[in-house]
Amino acid sequence: MIMPADRLTTLEIRHTEQEKTIEELSAQIAEQWKTIERLQKKLDTLAERFLALEEQSAPETPITKPPHW
């Protein structure tokens, strides 16, 4: 039979371990969020550069009537 004091000690140990795990997970999430923000900025910059290059390389075709008109 488990004594109340042993049960309380077991619960305190579990609580301490869970607090540590929560802190570790929180730190990992914060670090991953920083990475996501950095990658999003890079993606935005690359998208802007791609669109600028696309505009520069696209030939300007004058709007004319098709030959059959």
- The 10s digit of each residue's pLDDT in 20-64 is 999 999 999 999 999 999 999 999 999 999 999 988 887 776 677
Q: How confident is the model at residue 8 (pLDDT cuts 50, 70, 90)?
A: very high
Asked whether residue 14 carries a pLDDT value surpassing 70, the answer given is yes
Prediction pTM value: 0.63
Number of helical H runs and strand E runs in the chain? 1, 0
pLDDT value of position 67: 72
pLDDT value of position 57: 84
Report the distance separating Cα 12 and Cα 61, nearest Å. 75
